[in-house]
Structure 1
Amino acid sequence: MEQFEYKNYLDNIVLQLREQFVDSSLMVFNFRDEGKSLVSGLFSLYGITVKDYPCQYLGCPLLPLEMVLHFLRLSERWLMLEGQQNFLLMHCEKGGWPVLAFMLAGLLLYMKQYNGEERTLVMVYKQAPKELLQMLTTLNPQPSHLRYLQYICKMDDELEWPIQPIPFTLDCVILREVPNFDGVGGCRPIVRVYGQDFLTVDKRCNVMLPPSKPRKHARRYKQQADNISVKLNVGSCVQGDVVLECLHIDDSLEDERLMFRVMFNTYFIQSHILPLNFENIDVSWDAEQRFTKKFKAEVLFSEFDGESDASTEVASDYDDEVEVGSIDVFFEAVEIFSNLDSQEGQRDAEILSITSTECSPRAELMKTAPFSHFDMEIGLGGSQKNKIDGMVLSLENHSEFDVKELESLFAIAPKTKGGSKSDGASKSLGSKPDKVHLIDLRRANNTEIMLTKIKMPLPDMMSAALALDDSVLDADQLENLIKFCPTKEEMELLKNYTGDKETLGKCEQFFLELMKVPRVESKFRIFAFKIQFQSQIRDVRKNLLTVSSACEELRGSEKLKVIMEKILFLGNKLNQGTPRGQALGFRLDSLLKLTDTRANNSRMTLMHFLCKGLADKSPHLLDFYEEFVNLEAASKLQLKALAEEQQAVVKGLQKVEQELAASESDGPVSEVFRKTLKEFTDASGADVRSLSALYAEVGKSADALAYYFGEDPAKCPFEQVTSTLLNFVGLFRKAHEENIKQIEADKKKAQKEAEKEANQDRTPVKSKDGLVDRSPRSPFK
């Protein structure tokens, strides 16, 4: 679709919505790739807000969970705005349909409009041809889409976002069955992990975390049993949203092919494992030929140790092709290997070196041995003997060593919570008792995260809050404090606790500090209102003055009045002989229909004809729109929203006065609070009364503007008047510019025709006697 056709397409959509839903407002969510957006510029002509979102994250047609939640909450606030009917238009540019479909399904589930993640997603997918999804994505994104829809449905309303993502070490990926990607029933797999590198300073940096092995160590596996497994070590540090890809490398170790992809968030990892099957991995659309329905895999994690660097194990070179043993043998081998005294265990350990080529026996020994580490490579070549470089070493007992002394000297003391000291030292110094946690663990963790951002002792924080000292606490910090005030149930829980309060956790200590102040949440809200009061007054007043100025400019414009008279004249002439041919006026929205009325034999519209006539006879009227300095800004304002903001200020001050009266009985704890608040109420009362008077005056001006154009304010409110006039200005200017271009084009065309005719007149002509006559030909015969 050409750009002008696309603009007309969007114009029709917007006009239809505004005609059908007169009192409604529109917001557009646009999903696009990087680069210049066409939609933002087009919708700005109508004064419509456009929010842009990306259409992929690290190659996967999904968005990070935090961005998804931002979209959901913003949509909910817009659609549920009290006293106003708003509409949400979701649009995608090239390649954005898959992520738009996911976001729409997520919104329907989040707003409780539909139940069932898969049913909702399939319903949205069906709004477009299936071929479109296959054309835009090489892998079927439905499994990852469903996983993130399940995340959305699991989110608790009390969960504070953004949450602190949980860091893990992604240890390995275990394939329970080898897919067929080499044509002979096997594959040569490697793993790549993409995500946020939280070990760097720049948290916005998305990188590819190291693959499990260099390509030269990638091995081929083939199926030889019903149940087989391949373990691929990774060793990458992951946190938050992660994209994991498993690829097949061909024999040349150059070309690669994506076997499957998984996107997940570490916050929802349970028991350090992410189980997968064929139904919940993103695979190619023809993957059934390469995977069986029995395919399963697991992604294994361990706790992230920030003090130790994540390393990647590099295996030695092996034969090109390896047979893989059964999964049952794999786990049996790992279990038996911890007991090296058994001859049968040693035989099974030999199987381990074939079954799991990624699993190091040395690593297993280090986990089970309770002694200091001695860096010695261990082989598994014999039943009771160890082979190193061809030398046979006996494992018989050597009597010259005192084994008990060896164990006592080199045994590792068990770690205690107090550190690495011995038990005797720990007891002599006294160990700290365990903290007592009464509050829900998730809420307690979120509370402690919030407190780390305030960075001051709790008593100092409360003193600053009661003194209403905005140089110590800002609005964002107060907003967090309000969110984490204890509930009635939590306060009862703490009041009924009879143990030593010093042993309580940090969250409980914070709640106890807040409970010392009566109505602490109300006081926090009053403090937040005080901080934002002057900016609220200033913003509302500025917007009201913009509306007032726009009304004065429109009603005082003589040029606009003359243009309206000429439009009425044109309309009556076109309708001559009909009942509408003697109209005394016209509806305001008729201004936008001037572009719909076209001439019989040209592309000219009535708007072009109007501009042409003005340019010929009244050129001084062409710049009428320059008088409307505040029209565009005013068209973006909603009087209902301004009314709500003005009422919020009035009600806020009323709550301040109520809290001031209630604090009289608080005692000394609220003495500074009362004094500071009294000074604030005395100064702010005049500002609120002035703002209320201005709002009443602006409301009358807005109604008068509608009456001025012959409209009923109840049916054609201020927002519709300004939006219509702004659109009319845009269409008028566009038509005038097109007229100028057409005039220039006609001049060039006439000039070329004149030059062509002149050249023909100078063409040499032969006379009868053979001489060339170079004189111009006479136009007469």
Structure 2
Amino acid sequence: MMFKNSPNDTPARMSVKRINWEKIEPVDLGNTVWGQLGEDYDTINDVVKYLDLEQHFAMKKAKTFKKKTAPVKKDVISILAHKKAYNTSILLAHLKLTTTEITNCLLINGSEATRKKLVSSHYQQLLLYAPDEEEAEKLKNFAGDISKLNEADTLSLKLVNIPGYQLRLKALVFKHSFAEKEEEIRRNLEVVQRASNQLRKSRKLAKILEFVLAMGNYMNQGHIRISKATGFRIHFLAEMDCTKTSDNKMTFLHILARAVSSKFPEVLSFADELTDVKDASRVVYPVVLGDLQQLRKNWLLIRDNLLETESKNKADRFKIAMETCLVRTNGAIKRLEQLHQSTSKEFNKVAQYFGENPKNIGMQQFFNIFEEFIRKFQKSSMEISKLLKTKQPQKIQR
């Protein structure tokens, strides 16, 4: 039996829970209990209206949670070259400083603790990744939404608005690396100077060379070209082990060590008078001189172009700080230049002392020869000493 909605039915006033059943189609009712319903439907329907089912089974409005959506990526604008921007971003992540804190360092402004976080290598990287002229022009003319610039471009935009930003970075590299570079140059010049003095004043080394000359002249008798020598080029000192005895078991150096040990044992310790020769042999003098010349070149560059960094910003203390730095470093560079002159004179003296032309032999080559001679002589001396001990007759035990 089909039921129709009562004309008094009213539409639901609120959403109620559903009864999740499976409906029987009317054609299938037949003699089922459902087919017997209907006589009191209208009465029941009226009762149902007053059961407040809507209130009892009302659907509770679920709390609406704002769906967390991934932050919408801005349309990031990039002006710097990709590689430069990438490297700058890595540096910024490493420094953990804001772009404002970094630019304040170029103004010698902000807290001293923040400025100390930036060392010479950081300024060197900032200089390396700084915008070039074309990029600087694009940044200065940028009229878009600054918030859409990536972090590297944001920093670069702040940099190009600082007067003489590239010179400032070069100056800060100079300022923060100066003490270390000055110490390195001074140490290398001083060790060369000391080694030169030690070689020229070592009486024990002179005695050994006298022995070498006598032995060589004795062995060279009859050879017009090489006999009766009054001296020899020092490169022979590092080549003595190439001249072997007839049985190939020892070298000229072994014979020399044995003779010195036998006749002049007091000079076996000649290396004790040459303590700085090894360190001097490691000094690449052209590099040291180049570093010194670069210090002066950078100093002049900063001094001659410092006016470019002037700004109207009262908080900008860069120019004053660099003027003080230039005064201090100028005196230090002058002292290094004087040390270079005196070191060069000492080397010329020692080279000439050993019969060499300073213009024809490099410092490192010169000291390398003596360092190698010392090392080989000591090794041969130890081998001879060990050999002599094994040949000593054993005492008869009673």
Indicate the residue corresponding to 2:89 in structure 1.
Answer: 448
Candidates 556, 573, 582, aligned match of 2:228: 582
Structure 1 pair 708–496 and aligned structure 2 pair: CA distance change class (3 A): same
Structure 1 pair 653–440 and aligned structure 2 pair: CA distance change class (3 A): closer
Specify every segment of 5 or more residues in structure 1 that has no aligned partner in the other structure, as ranges: 1-397, 401-408, 419-430, 759-781
Counterpart check, 1:566 vs 2:207: no
Counterpart check, 1:435 vs 2:76: yes
Letter in 1 for 2:343: V
Structure 1 pair 730–451 and aligned structure 2 pair: CA distance change class (3 A): same
Q: Going by fraction, where is strand more abundant, 1 or 2?
A: 1
The answer to whether the 8 A contact 2:243-2:252 is kept is yes
The answer to whether the 8 A contact 2:245-2:252 is kept is yes
Indicate the residue corresponding to 1:553 in structure 2.
Answer: 198
Q: Aligned partners of 1:602, 1:432: CA distance in 2, in Å? A: 80
Cα offset for 1:460? 2.5
Candidates 654, 666, 689, aligned match of 2:300: 654
Candidates 679, 687, 704, aligned match of 2:349: 704
Indicate the residue corresponding to 2:250 in structure 1.
Answer: 604
Deviation string 1:343-388 (CA, Å, 9 cap, x unpaired) is: xxxxxxxxxxxxxxxxxxxxxxxxxxxxxxxxxxxxxxxxxxxxxx
The answer to whether the 8 A contact 1:544-1:698 is kept is yes
Q: Aligned partners of 2:82, 2:364: CA distance in 1, in Å? A: 49
Counterpart check, 1:519 vs 2:164: yes
Q: Aligned partners of 1:505, 1:600: CA distance in 2, in Å? A: 78
Structure 1 pair 590–479 and aligned structure 2 pair: CA distance change class (3 A): same
SS of corresponding position for 1:668 = coil
Indicate the residue corresponding to 1:254 in structure 2.
Answer: none
Cα offset for 1:606? 1.7
Indicate the residue corresponding to 1:381 in structure 2.
Answer: none
Cα offset for 1:571? 0.8
Counterpart check, 1:640 vs 2:281: no
Q: Which has the larger radius of gyration?
A: 2
Q: Aligned partners of 1:670, 1:689: CA distance in 2, in Å? A: 32
Q: Aligned partners of 1:554, 1:439: CA distance in 2, in Å? A: 57
**TM-score, reference length from structure 1:** 0.40
The answer to whether the 8 A contact 2:171-2:302 is kept is yes
Structure 1 pair 399–587 and aligned structure 2 pair: CA distance change class (3 A): farther
Counterpart check, 1:501 vs 2:142: no
SS of corresponding position for 2:301 = helix
Q: Aligned partners of 2:315, 2:299: CA distance in 1, in Å? A: 19
Q: Aligned partners of 1:677, 1:443: CA distance in 2, in Å? A: 28
Indicate the residue corresponding to 1:292 in structure 2.
Answer: none
Indicate the residue corresponding to 2:29 in structure 1.
Answer: none
1:293-442 → structure 2 map (5 Å cutoff) = 416-418=69-71, 433-442=74-83
Structure 1 pair 440–687 and aligned structure 2 pair: CA distance change class (3 A): closer
The answer to whether the 8 A contact 1:597-1:605 is kept is yes
Q: Aligned partners of 1:593, 1:448: CA distance in 2, in Å? A: 56
The answer to whether the 8 A contact 1:631-1:726 is kept is yes
SS of corresponding position for 2:239 = helix
Cα offset for 1:669? 6.3
Letter in 2 for 1:620: E
Counterpart check, 1:537 vs 2:178: no
Candidates 301, 307, 330, aligned match of 1:685: 330
Counterpart check, 1:466 vs 2:112: no
Candidates 380, 384, 394, aligned match of 1:751: 394
Letter in 2 for 1:459: T
The answer to whether the 8 A contact 2:191-2:276 is kept is yes
Q: Alignment length, in residue pairs? A: 332
Cα offset for 1:481? 1.5
The answer to whether the 8 A contact 1:548-1:702 is kept is yes
Q: Aligned partners of 2:85, 2:348: CA distance in 1, in Å? A: 53
Letter in 2 for 1:575: N
1:260-271 → structure 2 map (5 Å cutoff) = none
Q: Aligned partners of 1:572, 1:433: CA distance in 2, in Å? A: 87
1:211-222 → structure 2 map (5 Å cutoff) = none
SS of corresponding position for 1:679 = helix
Structure 1 pair 615–668 and aligned structure 2 pair: CA distance change class (3 A): same
The answer to whether the 8 A contact 1:705-1:718 is kept is no
The answer to whether the 8 A contact 2:191-2:279 is kept is yes
SS of corresponding position for 2:144 = coil
Letter in 2 for 1:685: N
Indicate the residue corresponding to 2:44 in structure 1.
Answer: none
Higher relative contact order (CA 8 A, sep 6+): 2
Q: Aligned partners of 1:598, 1:438: CA distance in 2, in Å? A: 70
Q: Aligned partners of 1:645, 1:583: CA distance in 2, in Å? A: 41
Cα offset for 1:472? 4.1
Structure 1 runs of 4+ aligned residues shifted over 4 Å read 413-416
Cα offset for 1:670? 7.8
> What is the alpha-carbon root mean square deviation over aligned residues?
2.6
The answer to whether the 8 A contact 1:703-1:718 is kept is no
Structure 1 pair 491–569 and aligned structure 2 pair: CA distance change class (3 A): same
The answer to whether the 8 A contact 2:139-2:160 is kept is no
